[in-house]
Structure 1
Amino acid sequence: MEVEVSLRVDGRQRRLTLDTRTSLLDALRERLGVTGPKKGCDHGQCGACTILLDGRRVNSCLALAVAHDEAEITTVEGLADGDTLHPLQESFVRHDGFQCGYCTPGQICSAVGMLTEAEAGWPSAVSADLTAPVELTDAEISERMSGNLCRCGAYAGIVPAIAEVAR
């Protein structure tokens, strides 16, 4: 069965006719040509497909497109303002927060969402005091980013890149 879905992707309204089983990841990559989100595991375990869905980070391989009609989607491509990179994108470059780069779009989108969560005061599993303001230590950043895996092990650059922007 196919249905019509409207998505606002990186600031641009897009209408698609999709099979009801189509994931947001497949709609973005295969139907709209948005290749920032990557298909890593296709099971929601690696985070390579992370996007911002209505401002919150989501594994797009697990989200059905039909469930998000009229949603606002931001991918790594939509974070930059023209030729001006998002501060996290700049920081990843400065801190060499990538090697092969496959996970980088998901890492950056996840970091943007994570910073929003921390700013809102959401605690994590390593938050010492659940009522205190969130302090983004390296341990806190690592815990909050644990859903995004890097096979190359570029964490030595990823955590400082996020910390620089957070602090």
Structure 2
Amino acid sequence: MPTYSFFVNGSARTVQTRTDDQPLLYVLRNQLGLTGAKFGCGLGQCGACTVLVDGEAVRSCMMPVAAANGRGVTTIEGLGSPDQPHPVQAAFITEQAAQCGYCASGVVMATVALLARKPKATRAEVQAALAGNLCRCGTHQRILRAALRATGTSP
């Protein structure tokens, strides 16, 4: 069985998989118990499985665990806590941007990646960065307001 080592939410982790192409999402959820990233479409089109790999937003359903070997992976569980949420999480709470919550972790992670690159992202930049994250509940406007709030820009 192939063995892979990487850092998940700041902690060194080692996992074994049956195949080299095992999706990172399955390892995170099934082996490491980190269920914040969701299985949505399995095709990298909905964004529910978005995590950060070395600070970059990736679709973990499409990334083989072998590609994460030796790298840093951050999931929604690694951002903040209920007592001290990450600023993006706090903005999403303030704007009540999640309804069912299925897409929320992926949207938050994509927003965190954008704001790490561009802390004062414009409305158009936020819209472009989140275009691939689908929300079936229709909270798009609240999501946009939350992302803009996280930039320090008035929503």
Please say whether Structure 1 and Structure 2 have the same fold, judged by a TM-score greater than 0.5.
yes
C-alpha distance in structure 1 between counterparts of 2:81 and 2:71, whole Å: 20
C-alpha distance in structure 2 between counterparts of 1:118 and 1:88, whole Å: 13
- Cα drift, residue 136 of structure 1: 3.0
1:17 equivalenced with 2:16 (yes/no): yes
C-alpha distance in structure 2 between counterparts of 1:140 and 1:70, whole Å: 31
Partner of 1:166: 151
C-alpha distance in structure 2 between counterparts of 1:61 and 1:34, whole Å: 14
Q: What are the Cα deviations for residues 40-67 of structure 1, in whole angstroms up to 9, with x where unaligned?
A: 0010000000000011110111100012
Q: Which amino acid counterpart does residue 94 of structure 1 have in structure 2? A: T
C-alpha distance in structure 1 between counterparts of 2:4 and 2:50, whole Å: 20
- What do you get for the CA RMSD once the two structures are aligned? 1.4
Name the % identity.
39
1:68 equivalenced with 2:68 (yes/no): yes
1:43 equivalenced with 2:47 (yes/no): no
Paired residues, what number?
151
Task: Assess if the C-alpha contact under 8 Å between 2:9 and 2:78 holds in 1.
Answer: yes
C-alpha distance in structure 1 between counterparts of 2:73 and 2:135, whole Å: 23
Which structure has the larger Rg?
A: 1
- Cα drift, residue 118 of structure 1: 2.3
C-alpha distance in structure 1 between counterparts of 2:81 and 2:72, whole Å: 17
Q: 2:12 is paired with a residue of what secondary structure?
A: strand
Partner of 2:105: 105
C-alpha distance in structure 1 between counterparts of 2:11 and 2:5, whole Å: 10
C-alpha distance in structure 1 between counterparts of 2:54 and 2:132, whole Å: 19
1:14-163 → structure 2 map (5 Å cutoff):
14-18=13-17, 19-80=19-80, 83-119=83-119, 136-163=121-148
User: Deviation above 4 Å: which 4+ runs of structure 1?
Assistant: none
**Runs of 5+ consecutive residues of structure 1 not aligned to the other structure:** 120-134
**Runs of 5+ consecutive residues of structure 2 not aligned to the other structure:** none
Partner of 1:3: 2
- Cα drift, residue 159 of structure 1: 0.5
